[in-house]
Structure 1
Amino acid sequence: MKRKRFTDEQIIAVLKEHEAGAKTADLARKHGISEATLYNWKAKFGGMEVSEAKRLKALEDENAKLKKLLAEQMLDAAALRELLFKKMVGPAAKRAAAAHLQAKLGLSERRACSIVGADRTMVRYRSRRPSDAELRVRLRELANERRRFGYRRLFILLRREGERSGINRIHRLYREEGLTVRKRRARRKAIGMRAPIPVEAKPNARWSLDFVSDQFANGRRFRILNIVDDVTKECLGAIPDTSISGRRVARELTAIVAWRGKPGSIVSDNGTEFTCNAMLAWCQDNSIAWHFIAPGKPIQNAFVESFNGRMRDELLNETLFFGVAEARSKIAAWVADYNGERPHSSLKYQTPAAYAATFTATGDRLRNPDQLRRSPVAPPAPIGVKPTRTLNAAG
């Protein structure tokens, strides 16, 4: 701001000389000013005393400050309107908001940070994190291949490929890429008292059986008989067909027993395929205890029900079948992947085949500290069934 040559007091003193009778030309020559300047002084300060001039100066200064404050408030209001529909949660969002105000309204960095409520050092920060473009691409590829896998299972698959990133970083990239799996909620849940059935933790201690239904592309229905080992979580059989009778179930169980060995017990629901005379005779011939769950309580057969849910979520809802032959080939491939490649959360993300390998030929656990440690008693499901209730042949 240009500095004045004359103060207000000096100007009023000059005007007093002019009022006393001094000529305009003489005053202008005496003080080194033009006559026009003298007339301007007279228009502004004519008839005023020094105190009045000081008060006028104070009013002018206050008015200038008020105008500046009003302009700043209007500018702040305009800036807030620019950010009305922007979420400013987190450093990245605040950094982007400050940059937007600087580019849109021409604000300084200090002013933009004041409006946004961010620290200037945070706005100036530039990440030194190495590029994760390749990891993002691979994560998207795995998520597209395993569309129903969450970040924990994808993390296990990346670790198998040699990726050294931690699970927190994988989770962050998983969320940033928008790969979150939408959960399919069950329509209803079974409730009731639970009574655990202790099972020895070894292969073939108990099998679970159940059916799951689906349809072909032409609308024709078919069923899948699923057989699961409750301890190792292995799928011992997944047999799809348009019709599966009790004799077919007995024949499939005989084939599995031939290469797997005899189970200690078998659990199923009360379906006609499991309660027919063919199954009664098969149980009597093979001396296998068969336990039925309570009617309308599928939670008591939780192991195979959980397997059915994974099969429907990851295979049946994602695949279109055009015939029985195609269904058999695709289901067999998925079962092989389930047993040998898919990490299982209840086995601390080991595969069922890898966990089954920790048992010796006699069914005892390998005593290796690097192996998975589990309780000597398997989890209590299926539950709610009296151990004395077995499948007996009808008279």
Structure 2
Amino acid sequence: MKKSRFTETQIISILNEADAGMLVKDICRKHGISDATYYNWKSKYGGMTASDLKKMKDMEQELSQLKKMYADLALENKAMKDLIEKKALRPQERRDVVTFLVNEHSLSISQSCRCAGLSRSAYYKPVVVNTDDILVINALNELVKKHSRWGFWKLFNVLRKKYPWNHKRVYRVYYQMKLNQKRRAKKRLPKRENNPLFVPELPNQVWSADFVSDSLYCGKRFRTFNIIDDCNREAVHIEIDTSLTSRRLISVFEKISLERELPKVLRCDNGPEFLGAEFVSWAEDAGMEIMYIQPGKPNQNAYIERFNRTYRTEVLDLYLFDNLDEVREVTYWWMIEYNEERPHDALEGMTPMEYMMKKQKTLV
């Protein structure tokens, strides 16, 4: 577009000459302009003064700045909508956000840093890799690979026996590796009467027993009959089959009696297997008292219920089994690990075997 020879101030001065009484054709001849140019100026600047022109210029400049600001904010808003992941909190996560905005939305580094809440100096600062935690990472990876369902405190209790790291350092690395287990939310329950469990002082005094049901990969159902010692939480036996009757329970206890002494008390629920006349008669002859819990009160058999949950999360839910032999094989090795390697919070961080040895030393 061709630039005018006259400034806007000069144009307003020329128009004022006409207001003073000078003819239009004389004004055009004097300044070397055409009639069309004069009337175009009059339609655009007619009735304006120099101060009005200055105000209009300021308004145009302010409007231009507002348009530019709106365009930048609209572009940043559109880019931020693509960040659908969790809010970035750590510096490295914010650097990744800045890189994403620069590459995908063509924002400048300054705009991207402002959107991510990160300074430019922090973006350009080289990342320092902390090599002091490599040993912690390797130790945690080794344990988690073997025990994928263990929480932080169980992992830490095992590591504490070999390494001098405190729980704060281990938890920091554990959290950065995103190994946190999903926690079950506590349900609000009405106030109930608390019936404390009878905690035996010696092994083979009170055992707890219960059934767990699951299915193979083909959909075929099977059951497990779990027995633990309430004194040291030792897994005594796990019987696995598609059908477990009262007669089968008798054969299980007779097999156990060949290796160790039977308990004086067996705590169980009111299942038909435990109520069968054949099993009740055999238990009475064997000198084993059956202690039935109240119907609808599984918390009165809390030790075996807690064991069932551990067995389900660490074995049944962790694998897909094709046949019962696979279930028995995995369960056999898991029981050895449970009794000899896995620390228990209720046993002061000791394994069932370690707790039994401690009990035997106190008795001696």
Same fold (TM > 0.5): yes
Is residue 2:79 matched to residue 1:82?
Answer: yes
Counterparts in 2 of 1:185 and 1:308: CA distance versus 1, 3 Å: farther
Counterparts in 2 of 1:184 and 1:236: CA distance versus 1, 3 Å: farther
Q: What pairs with 1:202-281 in structure 2 (closer than 5 Å)?
A: 202-216=202-216, 220-257=220-257, 259-281=259-281
Distance (Å, rounded) in 2 between the aligned partners of 1:361 and 1:278: 39
* 1:173 equivalent in structure 2: 177
> 1:168 is aligned with what amino acid?
R
Distance (Å, rounded) in 1 between the aligned partners of 2:225 and 2:69: 74
What is the aligned-residue RMSD (CA, Å)? Answer: 4.5
Distance (Å, rounded) in 2 between the aligned partners of 1:145 and 1:201: 33
Q: Is the 8 A contact 2:200 2:230 kept in 1?
A: no
Counterparts in 2 of 1:64 and 1:275: CA distance versus 1, 3 Å: closer
Provide Cα deviations, 1:265-316, integer angstroms capped at 9, x if missing partner. 2201223433344433444344333211123433322211222222223222
Is residue 2:75 matched to residue 1:71?
Answer: no
Distance (Å, rounded) in 1 between the aligned partners of 2:335 and 2:268: 20
Per residue, is there more helix in 1 or in 2?
2
* 1:312 equivalent in structure 2: 312
Q: Is the 8 A contact 1:152 1:167 kept in 2?
A: no
Unaligned runs of 5+ in 1: 1-7, 16-37, 47-51, 365-395
What secondary structure sits across from 1:166 in the alignment?
helix
Q: Is the 8 A contact 1:148 1:181 kept in 2?
A: no
Distance (Å, rounded) in 2 between the aligned partners of 1:170 and 1:64: 56
Distance (Å, rounded) in 2 between the aligned partners of 1:313 and 1:344: 16
Identify which of structures 1 and 2 has the higher relative contact order when contacts are C-alpha pairs closer than 8 Å and 6+ apart. Answer: 1
> 2:178 is aligned with what amino acid?
Y
What secondary structure sits across from 1:208 in the alignment?
strand
Counterparts in 2 of 1:279 and 1:101: CA distance versus 1, 3 Å: closer
Q: Is the 8 A contact 2:265 2:290 kept in 1?
A: yes
* 1:196 equivalent in structure 2: 196
Counterparts in 2 of 1:115 and 1:306: CA distance versus 1, 3 Å: closer
TM-score w.r.t. the length of structure 2 is 0.68
Distance (Å, rounded) in 2 between the aligned partners of 1:323 and 1:115: 56
Q: What is the CA-CA distance between 1:107 and the residue it aligns to?
A: 3.0
Q: Is the 8 A contact 1:213 1:223 kept in 2?
A: yes
Q: Is the 8 A contact 2:136 2:170 kept in 1?
A: no
> 2:149 is aligned with what amino acid?
R
Determine what percentage of the aligned residue pairs are the same residue.
Answer: 28
